Structure 1
Protein backbone atom coordinates (compact mmCIF):
# COMPACT_ATOMS: atom_id res chain seq x y z
CA UNK A 1 0.00 0.00 0.00
CA UNK A 2 1.20 3.49 -0.82
CA UNK A 3 -0.37 6.40 1.02
CA UNK A 4 -2.74 8.51 -1.05
CA UNK A 5 -1.38 12.05 -1.51
CA UNK A 6 -4.74 13.65 -0.69
CA UNK A 7 -5.00 11.63 2.51
CA UNK A 8 -1.50 12.69 3.51
CA UNK A 9 -2.41 16.34 2.88
CA UNK A 10 -5.53 16.05 5.07
CA UNK A 11 -3.45 14.38 7.77
CA UNK A 12 -1.07 17.34 7.63
CA UNK A 13 -3.92 19.75 8.35
CA UNK A 14 -5.12 17.60 11.22
CA UNK A 15 -1.58 17.34 12.61
CA UNK A 16 -1.31 21.14 12.76
CA UNK A 17 -4.59 21.34 14.68
CA UNK A 18 -3.51 18.53 16.99
CA UNK A 19 -0.19 20.26 17.65
CA UNK A 20 -1.91 23.49 18.66
CA UNK A 21 -4.39 21.70 20.92
CA UNK A 22 -1.80 19.73 22.88
CA UNK A 23 1.27 20.57 24.95
CA UNK A 24 3.53 18.61 22.62
CA UNK A 25 6.72 20.41 21.64
CA UNK A 26 8.97 19.78 18.68
CA UNK A 27 12.54 18.79 19.44
CA UNK A 28 13.43 20.22 16.02
CA UNK A 29 10.54 20.66 13.63
CA UNK A 30 11.12 19.02 10.28
CA UNK A 31 14.39 17.42 11.38
CA UNK A 32 13.55 15.20 14.35
CA UNK A 33 11.16 12.29 14.67
CA UNK A 34 10.28 13.05 18.30
CA UNK A 35 7.81 15.42 19.87
CA UNK A 36 7.85 15.66 23.65
CA UNK A 37 6.00 16.88 26.70
CA UNK A 38 7.26 17.01 30.31
CA UNK A 39 4.77 15.55 32.78
CA UNK A 40 4.39 13.51 35.94
CA UNK A 41 4.60 9.78 35.40
CA UNK A 42 1.39 7.92 36.30
CA UNK A 43 2.19 4.25 35.67
CA UNK A 44 3.75 1.42 37.58
CA UNK A 45 7.33 1.75 38.85
CA UNK A 46 9.98 1.15 36.18
CA UNK A 47 13.59 0.03 36.43
CA UNK A 48 15.82 1.20 33.56
CA UNK A 49 18.54 -0.88 31.96
CA UNK A 50 21.19 1.03 33.94
CA UNK A 51 19.44 0.50 37.28
CA UNK A 52 17.57 3.78 37.78
CA UNK A 53 13.98 3.92 39.01
CA UNK A 54 11.02 5.86 37.66
CA UNK A 55 8.14 5.99 40.14
CA UNK A 56 4.61 7.34 39.97
CA UNK A 57 4.76 11.13 40.39
CA UNK A 58 8.31 11.48 39.05
CA UNK A 59 8.91 14.10 36.39
CA UNK A 60 9.58 12.52 32.98
CA UNK A 61 9.80 13.57 29.36
CA UNK A 62 7.05 11.77 27.44
CA UNK A 63 8.24 11.05 23.91
CA UNK A 64 5.96 10.68 20.89
CA UNK A 65 7.03 9.61 17.43
CA UNK A 66 5.85 12.33 15.04
CA UNK A 67 3.79 9.98 12.90
CA UNK A 68 2.80 12.51 10.25
CA UNK A 69 6.42 13.54 9.75
CA UNK A 70 7.42 9.89 9.45
CA UNK A 71 4.60 9.27 6.96
CA UNK A 72 5.96 12.07 4.75
CA UNK A 73 9.38 10.42 4.88
CA UNK A 74 7.81 7.11 3.83
CA UNK A 75 5.91 8.57 0.88
CA UNK A 76 6.66 6.45 -2.17
CA UNK A 77 8.39 3.69 -0.15
CA UNK A 78 6.63 0.36 -0.70
CA UNK A 79 9.13 -2.08 0.78
CA UNK A 80 8.55 -3.12 4.41
CA UNK A 81 12.26 -3.50 5.20
CA UNK A 82 13.03 -0.06 3.81
CA UNK A 83 10.33 1.47 6.03
CA UNK A 84 11.83 -0.22 9.11
CA UNK A 85 15.36 0.90 8.21
CA UNK A 86 14.14 4.43 7.54
CA UNK A 87 12.53 4.59 10.98
CA UNK A 88 15.67 3.27 12.68
CA UNK A 89 17.89 5.73 10.88
CA UNK A 90 15.73 8.67 11.92
CA UNK A 91 15.51 7.51 15.54
CA UNK A 92 19.32 7.29 15.64
CA UNK A 93 19.55 10.76 14.10
CA UNK A 94 17.01 12.16 16.58
CA UNK A 95 18.28 10.77 19.90
CA UNK A 96 21.35 13.05 20.22
CA UNK A 97 19.17 16.10 19.57
CA UNK A 98 16.65 14.83 22.10
CA UNK A 99 19.47 14.52 24.63
CA UNK A 100 20.61 18.08 23.93
CA UNK A 101 17.03 19.35 24.25
CA UNK A 102 16.55 17.60 27.62
CA UNK A 103 19.89 18.90 28.85
CA UNK A 104 18.65 22.49 28.36
CA UNK A 105 15.20 22.01 29.89
CA UNK A 106 13.93 23.69 33.02
CA UNK A 107 13.88 21.29 35.98
CA UNK A 108 16.52 19.20 34.21
CA UNK A 109 17.81 17.91 37.55
CA UNK A 110 14.34 16.70 38.51
CA UNK A 111 13.69 14.77 35.29
CA UNK A 112 14.06 11.01 35.75
CA UNK A 113 13.99 9.82 32.16
CA UNK A 114 12.15 9.52 28.88
CA UNK A 115 9.07 7.32 28.43
CA UNK A 116 6.96 6.48 25.39
CA UNK A 117 4.24 4.05 24.31
CA UNK A 118 4.54 2.43 20.90
CA UNK A 119 4.09 -0.64 18.74
CA UNK A 120 7.42 0.14 17.04
CA UNK A 121 9.58 -1.31 19.78
CA UNK A 122 11.54 -4.02 17.98
CA UNK A 123 15.28 -3.37 18.10
CA UNK A 124 15.17 -0.51 20.61
CA UNK A 125 16.90 -2.34 23.48
CA UNK A 126 20.38 -2.10 21.90
CA UNK A 127 19.81 1.67 21.94
CA UNK A 128 19.50 1.66 25.72
CA UNK A 129 15.71 1.52 25.99
CA UNK A 130 13.95 -0.86 28.33
CA UNK A 131 10.55 -2.34 27.44
CA UNK A 132 7.53 -3.25 29.53
CA UNK A 133 3.86 -4.09 29.01
CA UNK A 134 1.12 -1.51 29.44
CA UNK A 135 -2.20 -2.16 31.19
CA UNK A 136 -5.10 -2.45 28.76
CA UNK A 137 -7.06 0.43 30.25
CA UNK A 138 -9.57 2.40 28.17
CA UNK A 139 -6.84 4.94 27.36
CA UNK A 140 -4.40 2.35 26.11
CA UNK A 141 -7.13 0.51 24.19
CA UNK A 142 -7.90 3.75 22.38
CA UNK A 143 -4.21 4.36 21.72
CA UNK A 144 -3.84 0.83 20.37
CA UNK A 145 -6.74 1.44 17.98
CA UNK A 146 -5.24 4.77 16.90
CA UNK A 147 -1.79 3.28 16.31
CA UNK A 148 -3.32 0.42 14.33
CA UNK A 149 -4.97 3.01 12.10
CA UNK A 150 -1.67 4.85 11.64
CA UNK A 151 0.10 1.58 10.88
CA UNK A 152 -2.46 0.83 8.20
CA UNK A 153 -1.79 4.26 6.67
CA UNK A 154 2.01 4.34 6.96
CA UNK A 155 3.04 0.73 6.46
CA UNK A 156 3.40 -0.44 2.82
CA UNK A 157 1.46 -3.59 3.72
CA UNK A 158 -0.42 -2.12 6.64
CA UNK A 159 -3.84 -3.60 5.93
CA UNK A 160 -2.52 -7.16 5.83
CA UNK A 161 -0.24 -6.56 8.84
CA UNK A 162 -3.11 -5.30 11.00
CA UNK A 163 -5.38 -8.16 9.91
CA UNK A 164 -2.82 -10.87 10.63
CA UNK A 165 -1.80 -9.56 14.05
CA UNK A 166 -3.90 -10.82 16.92
CA UNK A 167 -6.27 -8.62 18.89
CA UNK A 168 -3.57 -8.25 21.54
CA UNK A 169 -1.45 -5.78 19.61
CA UNK A 170 2.12 -5.49 20.89
CA UNK A 171 1.68 -2.09 22.47
CA UNK A 172 4.63 -1.54 24.82
CA UNK A 173 6.11 1.10 27.06
CA UNK A 174 9.69 2.04 26.16
CA UNK A 175 11.83 4.07 28.53
CA UNK A 176 15.35 5.20 29.35
CA UNK A 177 16.92 7.01 32.30
CA UNK A 178 18.04 10.60 31.87
CA UNK A 179 21.57 9.55 32.84
CA UNK A 180 21.80 6.90 30.14
CA UNK A 181 20.35 9.22 27.49
CA UNK A 182 22.85 11.99 28.29
CA UNK A 183 25.82 9.66 28.71
CA UNK A 184 25.13 7.80 25.49
CA UNK A 185 23.75 10.54 23.25
CA UNK A 186 24.67 13.82 24.94
CA UNK A 187 27.41 16.24 23.94
CA UNK A 188 30.04 14.49 26.04
CA UNK A 189 29.23 11.00 24.81
CA UNK A 190 31.95 8.62 23.79
CA UNK A 191 31.80 7.74 20.11
CA UNK A 192 31.48 4.02 19.52
CA UNK A 193 32.66 2.75 16.17
CA UNK A 194 30.43 0.31 14.38
CA UNK A 195 27.39 0.88 16.61
CA UNK A 196 24.20 -0.17 14.93
CA UNK A 197 20.49 0.03 15.64
Structure 2
Protein backbone atom coordinates (compact mmCIF):
# COMPACT_ATOMS: atom_id res chain seq x y z
CA UNK A 1 0.00 0.00 0.00
CA UNK A 2 1.16 3.50 -0.82
CA UNK A 3 2.68 5.11 2.31
CA UNK A 4 1.20 8.56 1.64
CA UNK A 5 -2.27 7.01 1.13
CA UNK A 6 -1.93 5.19 4.45
CA UNK A 7 -0.85 8.46 6.12
CA UNK A 8 -3.93 10.28 4.73
CA UNK A 9 -6.17 7.42 5.80
CA UNK A 10 -4.77 7.68 9.33
CA UNK A 11 -5.83 11.33 9.54
CA UNK A 12 -9.27 10.56 8.11
CA UNK A 13 -9.67 7.66 10.56
CA UNK A 14 -9.03 9.87 13.59
CA UNK A 15 -11.76 12.29 12.39
CA UNK A 16 -14.14 9.39 11.68
CA UNK A 17 -13.53 7.96 15.16
CA UNK A 18 -14.40 11.24 16.87
CA UNK A 19 -17.53 11.81 14.73
CA UNK A 20 -18.95 8.33 15.35
CA UNK A 21 -18.29 8.10 19.11
CA UNK A 22 -16.37 4.86 18.51
CA UNK A 23 -14.42 3.63 21.52
CA UNK A 24 -11.13 1.79 21.19
CA UNK A 25 -11.05 -1.54 22.97
CA UNK A 26 -7.26 -1.29 23.21
CA UNK A 27 -5.81 1.15 20.68
CA UNK A 28 -3.04 -0.41 18.66
CA UNK A 29 -3.62 -3.88 20.15
CA UNK A 30 -7.21 -4.83 19.28
CA UNK A 31 -8.86 -5.04 15.88
CA UNK A 32 -12.25 -3.90 17.21
CA UNK A 33 -13.79 -0.56 18.06
CA UNK A 34 -17.23 -0.39 19.62
CA UNK A 35 -20.11 1.95 20.34
CA UNK A 36 -23.15 1.44 22.59
CA UNK A 37 -26.45 2.26 20.89
CA UNK A 38 -30.07 1.24 20.50
CA UNK A 39 -30.67 -1.42 17.86
CA UNK A 40 -32.85 -0.20 14.97
CA UNK A 41 -33.11 -3.17 12.60
CA UNK A 42 -35.43 -6.13 12.27
CA UNK A 43 -35.72 -8.57 15.23
CA UNK A 44 -32.77 -11.00 15.34
CA UNK A 45 -32.73 -14.54 16.73
CA UNK A 46 -29.25 -15.60 17.80
CA UNK A 47 -27.78 -19.09 17.44
CA UNK A 48 -28.54 -19.75 21.14
CA UNK A 49 -32.19 -18.64 20.70
CA UNK A 50 -31.97 -15.19 22.31
CA UNK A 51 -33.74 -12.20 20.76
CA UNK A 52 -32.31 -8.81 19.87
CA UNK A 53 -35.24 -6.48 19.23
CA UNK A 54 -35.58 -2.88 18.02
CA UNK A 55 -34.83 -0.55 20.92
CA UNK A 56 -32.56 -3.03 22.74
CA UNK A 57 -29.19 -1.73 23.86
CA UNK A 58 -26.42 -3.36 21.82
CA UNK A 59 -22.69 -3.09 21.28
CA UNK A 60 -22.10 -2.09 17.65
CA UNK A 61 -18.95 -3.83 16.52
CA UNK A 62 -16.54 -2.25 14.02
CA UNK A 63 -13.38 -3.78 12.60
CA UNK A 64 -10.72 -1.07 12.83
CA UNK A 65 -9.90 -1.04 9.11
CA UNK A 66 -7.07 1.47 9.34
CA UNK A 67 -5.34 -0.50 12.09
CA UNK A 68 -5.72 -3.68 10.04
CA UNK A 69 -4.34 -1.89 6.96
CA UNK A 70 -1.20 -0.95 8.93
CA UNK A 71 -0.78 -4.61 9.92
CA UNK A 72 -1.14 -5.67 6.28
CA UNK A 73 1.43 -3.24 4.93
CA UNK A 74 3.72 -5.20 2.63
CA UNK A 75 1.58 -8.39 2.64
CA UNK A 76 1.11 -9.50 -0.98
CA UNK A 77 -0.39 -12.96 -0.54
CA UNK A 78 -4.18 -13.31 -0.12
CA UNK A 79 -3.94 -16.40 2.10
CA UNK A 80 -1.54 -14.63 4.46
CA UNK A 81 -3.97 -11.71 4.60
CA UNK A 82 -6.90 -13.96 5.54
CA UNK A 83 -4.85 -15.78 8.18
CA UNK A 84 -3.65 -12.46 9.60
CA UNK A 85 -7.23 -11.19 9.92
CA UNK A 86 -8.38 -14.47 11.50
CA UNK A 87 -5.54 -14.43 14.02
CA UNK A 88 -6.26 -10.85 15.08
CA UNK A 89 -9.99 -11.52 15.43
CA UNK A 90 -9.27 -14.59 17.57
CA UNK A 91 -6.88 -12.62 19.78
CA UNK A 92 -9.23 -9.63 20.01
CA UNK A 93 -12.50 -11.37 20.96
CA UNK A 94 -11.58 -12.33 24.58
CA UNK A 95 -9.96 -8.94 25.21
CA UNK A 96 -12.99 -7.15 23.80
CA UNK A 97 -15.29 -9.23 26.02
CA UNK A 98 -13.26 -8.31 29.11
CA UNK A 99 -13.50 -4.65 28.09
CA UNK A 100 -17.28 -4.87 27.59
CA UNK A 101 -17.84 -6.51 30.97
CA UNK A 102 -16.50 -3.33 32.60
CA UNK A 103 -18.90 -0.99 30.79
CA UNK A 104 -21.24 0.96 33.04
CA UNK A 105 -24.37 -0.23 31.18
CA UNK A 106 -23.22 -3.80 30.48
CA UNK A 107 -26.19 -5.30 32.37
CA UNK A 108 -28.58 -3.69 29.86
CA UNK A 109 -26.76 -4.94 26.75
CA UNK A 110 -28.52 -7.69 24.75
CA UNK A 111 -25.73 -8.57 22.34
CA UNK A 112 -23.15 -7.47 19.81
CA UNK A 113 -24.00 -6.58 16.21
CA UNK A 114 -21.80 -5.70 13.23
CA UNK A 115 -22.20 -5.14 9.49
CA UNK A 116 -19.58 -6.58 7.18
CA UNK A 117 -18.70 -8.21 3.87
CA UNK A 118 -16.21 -10.43 5.76
CA UNK A 119 -18.86 -12.84 7.02
CA UNK A 120 -17.56 -16.16 5.66
CA UNK A 121 -16.34 -18.35 8.50
CA UNK A 122 -17.85 -16.30 11.35
CA UNK A 123 -20.44 -18.89 12.44
CA UNK A 124 -17.85 -21.13 14.17
CA UNK A 125 -16.94 -18.03 16.21
CA UNK A 126 -20.50 -17.92 17.61
CA UNK A 127 -21.99 -15.33 15.27
CA UNK A 128 -25.28 -15.60 13.42
CA UNK A 129 -25.72 -13.99 9.99
CA UNK A 130 -28.63 -12.20 8.33
CA UNK A 131 -29.24 -9.95 5.35
CA UNK A 132 -29.45 -6.18 5.67
CA UNK A 133 -32.02 -4.03 3.86
CA UNK A 134 -30.45 -2.28 0.89
CA UNK A 135 -31.52 1.22 1.86
CA UNK A 136 -29.35 4.30 1.21
CA UNK A 137 -27.33 3.82 4.43
CA UNK A 138 -26.35 0.21 3.70
CA UNK A 139 -25.68 1.00 0.03
CA UNK A 140 -23.23 3.69 1.19
CA UNK A 141 -21.69 1.31 3.73
CA UNK A 142 -21.24 -1.39 1.08
CA UNK A 143 -19.53 1.15 -1.21
CA UNK A 144 -17.27 2.27 1.65
CA UNK A 145 -16.30 -1.31 2.61
CA UNK A 146 -15.54 -2.19 -1.00
CA UNK A 147 -13.27 0.86 -1.13
CA UNK A 148 -11.51 -0.38 2.03
CA UNK A 149 -11.06 -3.81 0.45
CA UNK A 150 -9.53 -2.24 -2.66
CA UNK A 151 -7.02 -0.44 -0.45
CA UNK A 152 -6.16 -3.31 1.93
CA UNK A 153 -6.26 -6.37 -0.37
CA UNK A 154 -3.09 -7.14 -2.40
CA UNK A 155 -5.25 -7.39 -5.55
CA UNK A 156 -8.01 -5.12 -4.28
CA UNK A 157 -9.30 -3.71 -7.56
CA UNK A 158 -9.34 -7.09 -9.29
CA UNK A 159 -10.85 -8.79 -6.23
CA UNK A 160 -13.75 -6.33 -6.04
CA UNK A 161 -14.42 -6.57 -9.79
CA UNK A 162 -14.33 -10.40 -9.82
CA UNK A 163 -16.51 -10.84 -6.74
CA UNK A 164 -18.88 -7.90 -7.16
CA UNK A 165 -21.99 -10.09 -6.94
CA UNK A 166 -20.51 -12.41 -4.29
CA UNK A 167 -19.75 -9.69 -1.77
CA UNK A 168 -23.09 -8.98 -0.10
CA UNK A 169 -23.23 -6.90 3.03
CA UNK A 170 -24.44 -8.97 6.00
CA UNK A 171 -25.34 -8.37 9.61
CA UNK A 172 -23.38 -10.54 12.06
CA UNK A 173 -24.55 -10.78 15.65
CA UNK A 174 -24.24 -12.68 18.90
CA UNK A 175 -26.12 -12.66 22.20
CA UNK A 176 -24.38 -11.40 25.30
CA UNK A 177 -24.82 -14.88 26.82
CA UNK A 178 -23.04 -16.55 23.89
CA UNK A 179 -20.27 -13.96 23.97
CA UNK A 180 -19.62 -14.60 27.67
CA UNK A 181 -19.87 -18.37 27.21
CA UNK A 182 -17.25 -18.40 24.46
CA UNK A 183 -14.97 -15.48 25.31
CA UNK A 184 -15.65 -14.40 28.90
CA UNK A 185 -13.26 -15.00 31.78
CA UNK A 186 -14.88 -18.38 32.45
CA UNK A 187 -15.17 -19.44 28.79
CA UNK A 188 -16.55 -22.97 28.44
CA UNK A 189 -15.25 -24.04 25.06
CA UNK A 190 -12.43 -23.39 22.59
CA UNK A 191 -13.10 -20.51 20.20
CA UNK A 192 -12.99 -20.62 16.44
CA UNK A 193 -13.12 -24.37 15.86
CA UNK A 194 -13.83 -25.24 12.27
CA UNK A 195 -12.42 -22.07 10.73
TM-score (norm 2): 0.96
Shift of 1:166: 3.0
Look up the match of 2:80: 82
Structure 2 unaligned blocks of 5 or more: none
1:27-38 pair list within 5 angstroms: 27-38=25-36
Structure 2 residue aligned with 1:142? 140
Shift of 1:169: 3.4
CA distance in 2, matches of 1:192, 1:13: 38
Name the CA distance, whole Å, in 2 between partners of 1:78 and 1:196: 25
Corresponding pairs, count: 195
* Residue correspondence of structure 1 range 118-197 to structure 2 within 5 A: 118-167=116-165, 169-190=167-188, 192=190, 195=193, 197=195
The answer for the alignment partner of 2:18 in structure 1 is 20
Cα offset, 1:190, TM superposition: 2.9
Distance 2:101 2:192 in 1: 26
Alignment CA distance shift 1:194-1:163 (3 Å): closer
Following superposition, the deviation at residue 16 of structure 1 comes to 1.2
Deviation of the 1:108 alpha carbon: 1.3
- Residue aligned with 2:190, SS: coil
Look up the match of 1:11: 9
User: How far is the alpha carbon of 1:167 from its aligned partner?
Assistant: 4.9
Distance verdict in 2 for CA 1:194–1:106, change over 3 Å: closer
Distance in 1 (CA, whole Å) between partners of 2:170 and 2:7 is 29
* SS in structure 1 of the partner of residue 100 of structure 2: helix
Looking at structure 2, the residues matched to 91 and 193 of structure 1 have their Cα atoms a distance apart, in angstroms, of: 11
- SS of the residue 1:105 aligns to: coil
CA RMSD of aligned residues (A): 1.5
Contact 2:77 2:154 in 1 (8 A): yes
Moved over 6 A (4+): none
TM-score, normalised to structure 1, is 0.95
Q: 2:4 and 2:192 mapped to 1: Cα distance? A: 41
**CA distance, structure 2, for counterparts of residue 100 and residue 120 of structure 1:** 24
How far the C-alpha of 1:194 sits from its partner, in A, is 8.9
Give the Cα–Cα distance (whole angstroms) in 2 for the partners of residues 127 and 79 of structure 1: 24
SS in 2 for 1:121: coil
Q: Which runs of 5+ in 1 are unaligned?
A: none
